[in-house]
Amino acid sequence: MPQFNVSTFKPGDLSVFEPQESQASELDVIEKVDWGNYWKSGFALTGWMGETPIAFGGIVEVHPGIGECWLFISRHASHREMIYLVKGFKRLLQCELSTGYHRVQMYARADFKPAVRMAKLIGMKQEGFLEHYPRKGIHSFLFGRTRND
């Protein structure tokens, strides 16, 4: 049985990653990131099951003490692998909130139920609804978690 591992994200990981259908249109945002500048204010990780990337995500500082997290999950991630991802990302958030950030937030498309569920599973609280965010015709929920949550 393949082993679950985590490594520092490399843009080349995208070439073998198959996102969930609902996230495929969002992947172009990640492909356009200036990773040289991103690494100065954040980090990204890739979750692997054997040789297959099943998720990648990270946190970037958007304001001093405030981070924004993001996560893409493979269409091939199994239920068991999702348990690893939830536990791992929850632990990562706890660590970041205790050492670097006083708040971490994320956006989840309102029509993408798995993202909303994931946000809640990792301990985020729904704080608001944004019409036409990140672009016209797409609506999102804002989730957040603070050091004191």
Q: In sequence order, what DSSP letters do the residues of 127-148 get, joined into one string?
A: EEEETT-SSTT--EEEEEEETT
The pTM for the full model equals 0.85
What pLDDT is stored for residue 36 in this prediction? Answer: 84
In the chain, how many H helices and how many E strands?
4, 7
What pLDDT is stored for residue 1 in this prediction? Answer: 61
What pLDDT is stored for residue 148 in this prediction? Answer: 87
Number of domains in the chain: 1
What pLDDT is stored for residue 68 in this prediction? Answer: 95
CATH number where 124 lies: 3.40.630.30
Would you state the structure tokens that stand for residue 5, as one six-digit string? 């591992």
Residue 145 half-sphere exposure, CB side, CA atoms within 13 Å?
A: 24
Q: pLDDT tens string for the chain (149 positions)?
A: 678 888 999 988 888 888 888 787 777 778 888 888 888 899 999 988 888 899 999 999 999 999 999 999 998 888 888 888 888 888 889 999 998 899 999 999 999 888 899 999 999 999 999 999 888 888 999 999 999 88
What pLDDT is stored for residue 86 in this prediction? Answer: 87
Task: Let me know: does 11 contact 35? Beta carbons within 8 Å.
Answer: yes
For 20, the domain range is 4-146
Ramachandran category for residue 146: left, alpha or beta (phi over 0 → left; psi -120 to 50 → alpha): beta
SS3 label, residue 1: coil
